[in-house]
Amino acid sequence: DCCIAEGDAIKVYVRVRPPSRGPGCDDGDQSLCLSVLSSNTLRLHSKPEPKIFTFDHVADVETTQESVFSSVAKSIVESCMSGYNGTIFCLNLLNIYFSLYTNESSLGPPDSDNFTHNLRGVIPRSFEYLFFLIEREKEKAGTGKSFLCKCSFIEIYNEHIFDLLDSASAGLLLREHIKKGVFVVGAVEQVLTSAAEAYQVLTMGWRNRRVASTSMNRESSRSHAVFTITVESMEKSNEIVNIRSSLLNLVDLAGSERQKDTHTEGVRLKEAGNINRSLSCLGQVITALVDVGNGKQRHICYRDSKLTFLLRDSLGGNAKTCIIANVHPGSRCFGETLSTLNFAQRAKLIKNKAIVNEDTQGNVS
């Protein structure tokens, strides 16, 4: 029974990356702040008490890219083919799209010929697998079935939406369509015919992202990036046309900005900023108070963040979702690691509650 229920929960996969690599963590200090206990637990050497975290899967530094892909992302791609919308969230994986080992300190992706490299990341593997499944379907069904794949690539930075496939555009809007769901008005959609093409589009868009460096972090992504593939299939049998479509979202969550997201807030206070400016976050504080209200009808004036709005379907309902989080084991990264683990743990609880207003008044009589 529990397995059936678990099928719909968000799966969280934590990966420990090799020490002495990665931004801000590569100077001398080799002591570690965590150890992997088993395939689903790890211990963080926090003081005074060490803390044990449990996830769906914990991968140590030896894990290969292939194994990350097949234990977590593969099933999401598969359910996308059977009509579910799927989402893969990546945390602290600036290089999830690409190799984890070879390009850690470079801001951009490697050249597109690296696509075939056997250290390539989860995303290119997902592309390959998706197109492999499509080809297989086509062969099985013969001429009766055809597929159309389109993709878009957008960035959410400071609650503004930018089209990474059209660097000239700025400030796009999110809207809803009664048949097609949430969409970004005016976002470029590109038709894809192969995995290599998908990788090319991704590489191109990636160069338009916003990245920042501080004296603490040599590089950190400041924005969320969402790469969306729409898979549409059309099947003709006996004059009846059957159209099915689903989405695959590949989301790269921002590092330093992540805490600002709705639902993921720690206990920190929101600052007023400059003494002469207004307290623009007061609304969020009040919103939190209202949310506690149980079962009463109320309206909250403040929207969820753009990211949650865009991916609302991915957080429950009829979508399959997984999270891949990457942590660095070095002691110097303790703070970042702790916040990543906390985030990943909270994420497991995120779910759209399917509240059906049910009122039995006078009905059972």
Partner 1 sequence: MATPTGWASLCDKFRSSLSLSTVESKKDPENEPYRSKYSARELLEEIRQLLGSEEAGEAEGDEAAARLRAARLAVLEYELGVNHTDTQERSAGEEHLVKCIELLQRHRLSRDCVCLYIQAQNSLGILWSERDDIKTAQTYLESAEVLYNQYMKENGNPPLDPNEHFMAEEERLTDQERSKRFEKAYTHTLYYLAQVYQHLEMIEKAAQYCHTTLKRQLEYSGYYPVEWALNAATLSQYYLTKQCFMESRHCLAAASVIFSQAGQAPSAEDNETEQDQQDLCQRKAEIARCWIKYCLNIVQGARKLLEDNIGELDPDRQSELKAQRKKEEDEKERGRKKAVLFGTSDLCDSILAMEEKVSCVFPLDFQEAREVFLVGQNYVNEAKDFFQVDGYVTDHIEIVQDHSALFKVLAFFEEDYERRCRMHKRRVDMLEPICADLNPQYYLLISRQLQFELADTYYEMMDLKVAIGNRLEELDSHTIKKINSLAQLAIKFYELFLDSLRNPDKVFPEKLEEDVLRPAMVAKFHIARLYGKLITSDGKKQLENMQTSLEYYTFLVDYCEKHPDAVQAIETELELSREMVGLLPTRMERLRVKLSSFT
* Residues from 248 through 307 that contact partner 1 (CB under 8 A): 266-272, 274-276, 278-280, 282-283, 285-290, 292-294, 296-302
Sole window of 31-39, 51-59, 123-131, 209-217 interacting with partner 1 (rule: CB under 8 A): 209-217
Q: Does 47 interact with partner 1 (rule: CB under 8 A)?
A: no
Number of residues that bind partner 1 (CB under 8 A): 76
Among 37, 170, 191, 211, binds partner 1 (CB under 8 A): 211
Q: Is-contact 196 115, C-beta < 8 A?
A: yes
Q: Does 182 interact with partner 1 (rule: CB under 8 A)?
A: yes
**Residue 51-90 contact track with partner 1, rule CB under 8 A, x = bound:** -------------------------------xxxx-----
The DSSP code sequence of 227-286 is EEEEEEEEEEETTEEEEEEEEEEEEEE-STTGGGSTT---SPPPP--STTS--TTHHHHH
Nearer to partner 1, 64 or 318 (CB): 318
The angle that helices 122-141 and 195-206 make with each other, rounded to 10 degrees, is 150
**Geometric angle at alpha carbon 65, from 124 and 231, rounded to 5°:** 30
Q: Is-contact 150 230, C-beta < 8 A?
A: yes
Write the CB contacts of 216 (distance below 8 Å, at least 6 apart in sequence). 24
Q: Does 357 interact with partner 1 (rule: CB under 8 A)?
A: yes
Sole window of 11-19, 53-61, 66-74, 214-222 interacting with partner 1 (rule: CB under 8 A): 214-222
| Residue 43 token pair | 């211990």
> Please, which of residues 123-162 interact with partner 1 by CB under 8 A?
none
Sole window of 10-18, 210-218, 235-243, 325-333 interacting with partner 1 (rule: CB under 8 A): 210-218
Q: Does 207 interact with partner 1 (rule: CB under 8 A)?
A: no
DSSP-derived 3-state class of residue 136: helix
Rounded least distance, CB 216 to partner 1, Å: 5
Sole window of 134-142, 159-167, 186-194, 352-360 interacting with partner 1 (rule: CB under 8 A): 352-360
DSSP-derived 3-state class of residue 56: coil
Q: Does 48 interact with partner 1 (rule: CB under 8 A)?
A: no
Q: What are phi and psi of 264, to 5 degrees?
A: -115, 5
